[in-house]
Structure 1
Amino acid sequence: MTNEQLLAPIKSFLQCDTPDEWIIEAKKSENLKILLLDHLLCELKAGQTAMWLIRKYAVDKESGKALLEWFQPYEKFVYKKEGTLESLAEHYKLSKAIVPKSNSVFGQDLIDKMVLLIKEELHHFYQVLEIMTDRGIAYENITAGRYAKGMMTQIRTHEPAILIDKLICGAYIEARSCERFAKIAPHLDDELNKFYVSLLRSEARHYQDYLNLAQQVAGKDVDISDRVKFFGEVEAQLIQSEDDDFKFHSGLPDF
């Protein structure tokens, strides 16, 4: 499958393309540091979101504890600046079996999809950090952009609507990430170009996994297309409106 074929469903799923103005800003050499730092944090947040979903909805207490332990080295690196690239290399594999709750009707499927997603996101985290280290870009704390929060504030407040909406939001975030990797790759040096192109396949699958899980939770007799359309409109508004904070998922540059 070519990259164009891979991206075709994503382009039809998203309600707008990344504006050229963002690409112009993203390819500036002075913005490479913030682009990589934010990408690094996005990979961790994507993994954390998947972990939260598994722990809340799908697994027993011991499995939840194992998931927390899996993330500790990465969270200590980001939040406490403890650890190194070398120490993280030993920690991106889950060492314990994850057991679904006995009363969870969709637990195993959610576990299978989200554990694979976490493995890939933590591996991507390591890869971004490796690139940063090779280029002498030290990790530092940065503020979060408005994008994910702007999506999450629209989530309903009762179950199973909360879970359905969170999964749909996850689908849009992964789809936009994939679209932006493809958009920015041709404008970067050879190493970064190859790296971002290499991420397209997994990110494309992630968005589909989220959507499939949302439909599974809702039930085959429930139409979730209105919620998908609604969040597509929210996402497009965030991408197309002015944004004074350049990040990987930011809107129109307004600096």
Structure 2
Amino acid sequence: MSSNELIGAELEAAGMREIDSAVATSRAAQDALDNNALQQAIRERRAAGDAAPLKLGVLISGSGTNLQAIIDRIADGTLNASVELVVSSRPSAKGLQRAEKAGIQTLTLSKDVYADPLAADEVIAFELLKHQVDYVVMAGYMRMVHAPLLQLFKNRVVNIHPALLPSFQGAHGIQDAYDRGVKVTGVTVHFANEVYDQGPIIAQETVRIEEGMSVDELEANIHAVEHVLYPQVVDLLSAGRVHVDEDNRVQILPE
């Protein structure tokens, strides 16, 4: 039985649905779910000939184009992963249709119903556990994540940001970079933590802002890079190559 299954059984037996309280009762189980421990386990499994796909839970709020990029790479056999659950904060999100078309189970937690983000994160964490998810992928998710998710999936919640962090943090990274007049911006994939847009950086890719380029053209170029970079990071995770050191810096291990 996996660590996720053990914790899930523990939650069921105790009748607990508040994930942060449940995790507090089992510090050893929480530690077993840290990114580095999971990445080590993946490397050991691969060395033994077990190439089980990486199980993902994807959080969305809108069109789901990054979700689609991951789905497409999985479908064409170039990404060793599976999307087990897609969670949306908006019932109208087009990404839900993308998930359903791919046969992926979906869950919607509307802000109107789950106004308290902690309550929403508790439900999300519980559902992700039930689906035995390895990593949580934020793909245009327009809510911050909090302790119920971050504690249980320590350095296993991944986010993508349309700028080169630490520059141009926040919800308007593309517009802010354009307005500032920088010549180079880009895309960052990082682990999410308690501080918005400041988790350990996994990968970055640059995008040049050419003379005369409109902000819409820049946005299109940014998204094109996102659709390549995000699946690449998932591929690194599926190979067990992502290690977070003591200084919270990410090292990409050799193959």
| TM-score range normalised by the length of the shorter chain | under 0.3
So what's the TM-score if we normalise by structure 1? Answer: 0.25
Q: Using CA pairs under 8 Å that are at least 6 residues apart, name the structure with larger relative contact order, 1 or 2.
A: 1
So what's the TM-score if we normalise by structure 2? Answer: 0.25
Structure with the higher fraction of residues in helix conformation: 1
